[in-house]
Chains A and B, each alone.
Chain A
Amino acid sequence: MSTYTVRFEDNNQEIIFAGVMRPRQTKELDDVRDVFERALTRVSGTLNFNFKRLLKANNVAFQEMVSLFTSVSKRRPELKVRVIVSSVVGWAARKFKIVGAISPNIQVEQYDQTFYPGQGVLENGSFISILRTQTKMTWRHERNILPRHGMAEGKEVADICCGIGDFALLLHKEFKPKRLVAVDHAKPSLQYARKVAEEFGIKEVEYIYGDASALLLDSNQFDFVTCRHSLQVFNKPELILKELFRICKPGGRVYISNEKNSHCLGEPRAASIAWTYEEVARLWAHFEMDIELGPKSRRYLQDTGFDDIRMESIMVTNLDGDPKDFADVIQAWEDVYAGEMAVKRGDTPEFISRFRQGFQDHIAAALHPKGYAGWPIWIASGRKPL
């Protein structure tokens, strides 16, 4: 059974495989060899073999791959070969680990571990408690906003970049989806999500380990796809949007939320607060993440091909609930942004001290009996054309 595609892309010097490759005989893979031969005439330096979207392959196919790698090392010994696999499909990382034995020029790279430059900090399990508080604060708004963007009971829903899964659980309780798949790439978060769901006796949410930019979910299968506070974390948000578009049914909607941190505000001490959040935006940009993405959502959705785009903004404030919750979130931001990311960037102690002060002033504004503190978020959704 083979329903694969193979193509060569000149710009990345990359042979890209996708689908299922389970032939009975290697002669069924003649097109693979044709693509390989063409690639070999056009590459220099490094030839990439990209298997991250190859869902399945049998040993007949694998033997053909080994034959290709061997052929490269004999015919073009100066070429380096990079074999790119994804841990999401499982089999590839196991199967391909042996190919390094063919030649020292062949390297196997697990794509998932290198793709997200800034995520190491944010995928750290210590961030979990603050994510829960954030969801609690935003859910007060979103439970009313979601229906305006097409959410309703009985839909087939995917929550991509589900994090610790609390939003998925809230969706489950509030909207009783017919099916709810929640995908994330951070294992500590997923572990937590499954534990919470188990404790709550909820079995209907499917938590799946996966890569948002190369989802292995079938196309056109969800009525409503959510992706919250996540496009801003990736250096290539358009790749994720393309995947959200693909898995959404024609006529279904994709719902995204993102921030513009430089618009965080507070009174009193507005100037100090504003300075710090401008710096937050620069800090994120240093790590190839765009915490200013929120208002750009309309453009991103249009460029991906969505129509009927709906957009609104919310201001989460210290008046929404317990001001202490708001303060806790800001404290966590300070801990991660000033305590970890700024240090990692190599900022001076003087800068970090001033940077921290803005967060403390934001907290003071939130807790001040006459104070006001805000965190703006942009919600946007688009319809996949019929």
Chain B
Amino acid sequence: MLVFLRPIVNATTPSQAAPLIRVDLTAADFAANWQQCDRVANYLARTVSSDRPDTFLHANLLSTALNELFEIAFVQHRAGGKIICELLRSGPADRVELTIPVDAAHRTYYRKQVAFIHSGDVATLYSTALLGEADPDIAIGLLELAADYGAVITLDETLDDAHVRLVVEMHLGTPAA
């Protein structure tokens, strides 16, 4: 089910991240089909990129980022509840807020992954995770967003016992085209 909050607007100051669009996904339906990650990522990215200078490039980059987040949520969520994705904009920055239904184990997982991103030089952490002997965890997507897109990633655990919110803010850096 899609819920539009309001039409696309431009916020101008960092403190005024303006909500652009929100999608509520029943976790069970979402997790029934891997293709949902790609479909929803593309839909959201195309919708909010329409007034960016290079719509195609911005949509493609945002879709890449969103897809990684959805793929993590696809694997790491508790049964029941809703996965909610809200996109906001603050000037050139895009902010993704992904609310995920979790149990205690999932909560620990997300806490650990986000803490790991902040545990050292992110480029080194990403390189080690990607090129090391062990198979990387699905959450390498988060590391990549931090390393390649300069994303600032935080975990909001203040919602309730049953949800966490991944907050990812990025300057997708559409080249000055």
Contacts and interface: CB of A to CB of B under 8 A. Distances in A.
B56 A59 contact: no
A207 interface: yes
25 contacts: A1-B39, A20-B38, A22-B37, A22-B67, A22-B71, A56-B38, A56-B63, A59-B68, A63-B136, A70-B131, A87-B175, A89-B57, A90-B60, A91-B64, A95-B144, A97-B148, A98-B131, A101-B127, A101-B131, A191-B176, A191-B177, A207-B53, A208-B54, A210-B56, A216-B60
Contact of B38 (A1, A91, A98, A209): A1
B131 to A, nearest CB: 6
Q: Is the interface of A mostly helix, strand, loop or mixed?
A: mixed
The interface centre, meaning the residue of A24, A87, A88 with most chain B CB atoms within 10 A of its CB, is A24
Q: Is the interface of B mostly helix, strand, loop or mixed?
A: helix
B136 A190 contact: no
Interface of B: 34-35, 37-39, 53-57, 60-61, 63-64, 67-68, 71, 126-127, 130-131, 135-136, 138, 140-141, 144, 148-149, 172, 175-177
Interface residues of A, number: 33
Interface string A315-342: 0000000000000000000000000000
A58 B60 contact: no
B39 to A, nearest CB: 7
Given A22-B38, A90-B64, 16 more contacts: A56-B67, A58-B141, A59-B71, A60-B71, A63-B130, A70-B131, A91-B60, A91-B61, A95-B148, A98-B131, A101-B131, A187-B175, A208-B57, A209-B177, A210-B56, A216-B60
A70 B131 CA distance: 9
A88 B172 CA distance: 14
The interface centre, meaning the residue of A59, A89, A95 with most chain B CB atoms within 10 A of its CB, is A59
Contact of A56 (B60, B130, B149): B60
